[in-house]
Amino acid sequence: MTTCVFVQIRCTPGTTYRVAEDIALKEIHSELYSTSGEWDLLVKLYIPEGADIGHYINENLADVKGIERTLTTLTFKAF
């Protein structure tokens, strides 16, 4: 079974659309949204079974130029 996580991303000013495009090209997300407020993007990911969540996010998102900071929220149960 996969683990669903949400990753909020703060981008370097002026890079949000490029960052979103770079993430979309990786084809690792389920959903990707631009957002208002403190964070610029919200990504919904399904982490493969057995994968370490931290390593997966670091290996698949950390290399995207323009990401300043992330906040990951793990999910437990859908209602």
- Give the pLDDT confidence of 42-52 residue by residue, as tens digits: 999 999 999 99
What pLDDT was estimated at residue 31? 98
CA distance 5 to 3: 6
Query: Which residue do the tokens 């370490």 mark?
Result: 52
Instruction: State whether residue 36 is helix, strand or coil.
Output: coil
Tell me the pLDDT tens digit for each residue of 3-27: 999 999 999 999 999 999 999 999 9
Instruction: State whether residue 65 is helix, strand or coil.
Output: coil
**Residue 28 phi, psi (nearest 5):** -105, -10
More confident site: 1 or 37? 37
Calculate mean pLDDT across residues 43-70.
95
Query: Residue 62 to residues 1, 10, 57, 77: CA-CA distances in angstroms?
Result: 24, 12, 7, 27
What pLDDT was estimated at residue 78? 84
Classify residue 37 by its DSSP letter.
Answer: S
Asked if pLDDT for residue 62 goes beyond 90, the answer is no
